[in-house]
Chain A
Amino acid sequence: MEKFRANVMLCAGTGCVASGTGKVREALQAELVKRGLQDEIKIVLTGCNGYCAEGPVLSVFPDEIFYQKVTVEEVPKLVEEHFLKGRPYEKLMFREPEKKTAIPLMKDIPFFKHQVLRVLRNKGLIDPEKIEEYIVRDGYQAMAKALTQMTQQDIIKVVKDSGLRGRGGAGFPTGLKWEFASKVQSDIKYMLCNGDEGDPGAFMDRSVMEADPHSVIEGMIIGAKAIGAHHGFIYVRAEYPLAVKRLQLAINQATEMGLLGKNILDTGFDFHLEIYLGAGAFVCGEETALMRSLEGKRGMPRPRPPFPAHKGLWDKPSVLNNVETLAQIAPIILHGSEWYRSLGTEKSSGTKVFALTGAVNNVGLVEVPMGIPLRTIIYDIGGGIRKGRKYKAVQLGGPSGGCIPEHLLDTPVTYEDIVATGAIVGSGGMVVMDDNTCMVGTARFFLEFTADESCGKCTPCRVGTKILLDMLTDITEGKGKEEDIETLQDLGRDIIASSLCGLGQTAPNPVLTTIRYFKEEYESHIRDKWCKAGVCRKLTTFWIDEKMCKGCGACLRACPSKAIIGEKKKPHKIIQEVCVHCRTCYEACKFKSIDILPAGADENTAAAFAAGKGTKEKGDA
C-alpha cells in the first residue's frame, strides 16, 4: 500500500454533497497537484460525519484537525497553510459562538465532545466504498468469531445479556426476537433489515448505510447465524440513492471476498443478501407491513399473532431488525455484553443515535449514552436555541411521538422515561422548536402526515385521523369550538385503543401531548382567535409598536405585498387591509417592534397589549 504523509477525510454524505463536496474535492485535488503534493496527501471521501449543517466538513489525519464550511475559494489558502507551511488554518475552524477562539481538534468541539461513538464508530474514518478500510477497523472480526467459535445459543445469549433493544422505535429486546425465531423449525428462514427510514426528522439510518454499510451487513450475517437463516433482504427507501449504491457495492465486495454467499470463510455457513427498494409508504416501517411489501403487495399490517418469528415473509419465520440495531451487533460480539452495558441504564443500555434538528445552533447526528438528560443534548451538544430565541418544545419520535416542554428537559433519555412524558424515543428524530412555533399547527402538521399515510385497513385510524386533522384545521382557522379539546382527546384515545399497528396506536400522540403541555395555546386559538406565535394566518394581526419602531425601513423593504408605509426614522405602520400575514416583517425587524395580536385587532387592542408588555417587562426586571 502507498504511504501518504496525511489523509484528508472529506465528508461525502448527502448533506455535505449538497453543500458542495464535489467541487471542493476537485479544487483540493487540483491545488495539491499544483503544489506537487499529490503523492504526499491523499483525499478520502468518507460517509456522513453527522455535522451536516456546517458542511462541507473535512478532517486531516494524523493531526485530527477539523475544518468546516470549506469553500472552493478557501482551498488554495488551506493547502498552503496546512500542508506547505504546516500550520493549521484557523479561518475554517470551529468557533464557539460567544468566545471567538478557534477550536482545532474535533474531539474538543462541543458538538462532538459529549458523544460516544459505537454505532457511528467508523464515521469519517473510512472510505465506505472500500471493504479493506472497514476490515482494518476490526471489520468482520465479530462475524468470524460468531461463525467459528460461537453456537447459535452463544450469540443469542450475548445479545440478550447486552440488553440491546430495537432502535427502530418500539424498543423490543433484540436477543429475545432472535431467540424466538431460532427455536422455530423451518426449512427456510429470513433475516431482514429495515432501512425504510420514514420518520420525518430522522436520518441516522441513512447516515449509517452511507458511512458504514459493512457494519449493517456484518450484523445481518451474525443475526442470520443466530436464527439459522440463509437468505436476507435489506429494505431501503428509494429516496436514498447514495445509501443504495454503497450497500450494493458493499455486498458485491463482501461476496467477492467470500464474506457473503456460499460457505462463508469455509465454515459451511451460507448467507445470500439482496437489496429491495421500497416505494414510499410510511406504514412499511411496521414489520408485518414491510414483509407484505417485500412480497410485492400493498404494505398493510396484519394482526399478530402469528408473530413474524413464526410466520413472516412468505409465511416463513423471519426476523426484522433496524439498521442502527444491526450496526451495534459486531462490537457487542467482539467486546461482550458487559462492555455494552457499561453505558446507559439498567433497562436502556448502550448508546442511541439522535438526529438533532430544528431550531438549535448545532444540527446533525449525535450518538450519546442512553440515560443522559434531554437538556445535555439540546444545550451542550446542540449549543442551545438558534438566534438566542426561547426554547418551546422538543419533538421526539416523529409522527408517533410527542412534544416535550421545558419543565421536562431534565428527563433522562431512556425508553421508559420518554414514554412517561407521552412521547416515544422512536427512531431518534429530535426536532427542537422555539417560540416561533405554533403547537396547534405542529399537531396539525403531524396529523396531516398520518392521515395521509394511514394504510386504510383499520377504520378508526383511516377515518379517525382525518377527523382529528379536520378539527385541528378548523382550530387553526378560527373555527374551533370550546368542546373541541375534549373531543380531540376522547377520539385520540379511541384511535389508540382500536388500531392494529403502531401507526394508528401512536398517531394521536402529537395531539395528546400538545394538549397536555400546551393547552393554553389551544384555548387562545379557540377563545381569543389568537395564535401567539404568529403562524396561523387567520388568527394573527401584525402590529407595529410605534414606541419601539426606529423607522429603519427593514420591514418596509421586506414586505412582499407592500402593506407597510412610513418615512425614514419615523414609526412605520401596517395597512391591515393589505397585509397577507406572511410574518416576513416580523422576521425582518431587529428591534422587536412588531407585535403579534389576535385576529381583527385594532388600536385599542394594540394599546392594551403594549401596556401589558410594559408591565411584564418591568415585572421581569
Chain B
Amino acid sequence: MLGEPKILVVDDELVVIKSAERVLKSEGYQVEGALGGREAIMKLGQDNFDLVFTDLKMPEVDGITLIRWIKKTKPSVGIVIITGYPSQDTIKEALELGIIDYVPKPFTPSVLLDVTERAVEWIKGKAPEEKKVQEEFPPAMEAELERVIREFRQKPGSLIPVLQRAQEIVGYLPPIVQKKISQGLNIPVAEVHSVVSFYSFFTMKPRGDHNIRVCLGTACYVKGIEGVVSKIRDTLKIDVGETTENRKFSLEGVRCLGACGLAPVMVIDQETFGAMTPKKALEIIGRYDAAYVSSASAEQAGELAEKEG
C-alpha cells in the first residue's frame, strides 16, 4: 500500500455515500463512492482500492454477491460491511466470506473512523504475505468471540463450550484466542491451554478449506483404512493432522465415526463417504478441487517412475 489508503464506499443511497465520504476525507483518506454493487464491480475493475465499505441490502447486485466477487478476483482488498440489519445470520455469512469488520447503520463519524483505522491496520499487518499464519484475527470475529464469552461468562464449567464456539468462529485456536478466552472467563491461560491440548476436537493449527477426516476405528482398520490414508498422505503430501501448503485440504484421523456398517469411512466437511478404497477416496477428494488433486497425483506418479528408473 502506497500513501494514504484508498477506500470505495458502496451503497444504494447517495446520502450514505456522501456522508461517509465527508467524514473519511476529513481524516485524509482517499474516498470514492459507488451506487450499488454493479458500479462497484466496474470501479474495482478499473482502479486499485485498499478497502471497500459496502451495504448488504442493495437491488440487483447485493452486498454478499459483491463480497464473493471481491474475494474471488481481488482477494487483497479488505472488506467492511455497513448494515442496518446486524442480525446474527447476515453477519455470520459475511464473516464466513472473510470480512474484516462491520459498521451498524446509522453510524456516527467517530464509529466510522474507529472502524476504518482498525481495518487499515489490519490490512497493513496482513500484506504483503497473505498466506502467512495469521497471528491476528479480524475485529468482526473478535466481536463475535466477545459476544460468546459474555453469553457464557456467568455459567460454571463453560470453558469447553466457549472453546467449541471459538473454534467455529475462528477455525482454530491460536494462542491469541486462548488468551482472549482466559481473560474473558477469568480462567488462567495455562488452564485454557491444558484443556485445548487435552481434547482431540480442538486444534491449534489452521485447517484447510476442506477438512478430510478418516475413521481410525476398528471396523475401518479391519477393512483397510490404512491403504486409504497412505494414498491421501502420499498424494496431498501431508501427514495426519496437517494442512496442505495452499490451505485447500487438511487431513485428520478420528476415533470411530460410528458408521461402522460402511467401513472404511471418510468424511469431508460434513459429508460421509462409505466403503472407501484408495482410488475411490482420491476421486472424491478430486471433486472438491480437481485441478490441485490431479496435479498432485501426477507428481506422485512421476516420483514413483523415477524411483523405479
Within 8 A of B (CB), among A197-252: 197-203, 206-207, 238-241
Question: How far, in Å, is A448 (CB) from chain B's closest CB?
Answer: 9
List the one stretch of A277-285, A372-380, A500-508 in contact with chain B.
Answer: A277-285
By a CB distance below 8 angstroms, the chain B residues around A560 are: 304
CA–CA, A18 and B264, complex, Å = 12
Interface size of A by Cβ–Cβ distance < 8 Å?
61
Question: How far, in Å, is B155 (CB) from chain A's closest CB?
Answer: 9
B77 contacts the other chain (Cβ, under 8 Å)?
Answer: no
Question: How far, in Å, is A475 (CB) from chain B's closest CB?
Answer: 18
Interface contact A14-B259, CB-CB below 8 Å: yes
Q: Given known contacts A201-B219, A280-B199, A358-B222, is B262 in contact with A53 (CB within 8 Å)?
A: yes
Q: Given known contacts A201-B219, A299-B198, A429-B218, is B308 in contact with A239 (CB within 8 Å)?
A: no
CA–CA, A296 and B158, complex, Å = 6
B273 contacts the other chain (Cβ, under 8 Å)?
Answer: yes
Interface contact B164-A277, CB-CB below 8 Å: yes
Interface size of B by Cβ–Cβ distance < 8 Å?
43
Interface contact A282-B274, CB-CB below 8 Å: no
* Closest partner residue, chain B, to A446 (CB atom): B218
A55 contacts the other chain (Cβ, under 8 Å)?
Answer: yes
B194 contacts the other chain (Cβ, under 8 Å)?
Answer: yes
Interface contact A17-B157, CB-CB below 8 Å: no
A518 contacts the other chain (Cβ, under 8 Å)?
Answer: no
Per-residue contact bits, chain A 550-587, to B (CB 8 Å; 1 contact, 0 not): 00000000001110000000000000001000100000
Per-residue contact bits, chain B 287-309, to A (CB 8 Å; 1 contact, 0 not): 00000000000000000100010
A9 contacts the other chain (Cβ, under 8 Å)?
Answer: no
Q: Given known contacts A297-B195, A578-B308, is B218 in contact with A200 (CB within 8 Å)?
A: yes
Q: Given known contacts A52-B261, A203-B258, A277-B161, is B219 in contact with A18 (CB within 8 Å)?
A: no
- From A202, A279, A359, A437, B199 is in contact (CB under 8 Å) with A279
- From B201, B217, B271, B272, A201 is in contact (CB under 8 Å) with B217
Q: Given known contacts A281-B198, A314-B156, is B222 in contact with A437 (CB within 8 Å)?
A: yes
Question: How far, in Å, is B216 (CB) from chain A's closest CB?
Answer: 7
Interface contact A280-B195, CB-CB below 8 Å: no
Interface contact A279-B308, CB-CB below 8 Å: no
By a CB distance below 8 angstroms, the chain B residues around A453 are: 255
By a CB distance below 8 angstroms, the chain B residues around A278 are: 199, 201
By a CB distance below 8 angstroms, the chain A residues around B194 are: 298
CA–CA, A582 and B160, complex, Å = 42
Q: Given known contacts A279-B201, A357-B261, is B256 in contact with A201 (CB within 8 Å)?
A: yes
Interface contact B261-A363, CB-CB below 8 Å: yes
Within 8 A of A (CB), among B220-265: 220-223, 227, 254-263, 265
By a CB distance below 8 angstroms, the chain A residues around B274 are: 15, 18-19
Interface centre among A201, A241, A282, A445 (most CB of B within 10 A): A201
Interface contact A198-B255, CB-CB below 8 Å: yes
A295 contacts the other chain (Cβ, under 8 Å)?
Answer: yes
Per-residue contact bits, chain B 18-33, to A (CB 8 Å; 1 contact, 0 not): 0000000000000000
A307 contacts the other chain (Cβ, under 8 Å)?
Answer: no
Per-residue contact bits, chain A 353-391, to B (CB 8 Å; 1 contact, 0 not): 001011100011000000000000000000000000000
B100 contacts the other chain (Cβ, under 8 Å)?
Answer: no
Q: Given known contacts A198-B255, A314-B156, A357-B219, is B163 in contact with A279 (CB within 8 Å)?
A: yes
Identify 18 new A-B residue pairs, CB closer than 8 A, beyond the known A199-B256, A298-B194: A14-B257, A18-B271, A51-B261, A52-B261, A53-B261, A200-B255, A202-B256, A203-B261, A278-B201, A279-B202, A280-B201, A280-B254, A355-B260, A358-B222, A359-B223, A431-B219, A561-B304, A582-B227
List chain A positions with a Cβ less than 8 A from chain B: 14-15, 17-19, 51-53, 55, 197-203, 206-207, 238-241, 276-282, 293-299, 314, 355, 357-359, 363-364, 395, 398, 429, 431-433, 437, 442, 445-446, 449, 453, 455, 560-562, 578, 582
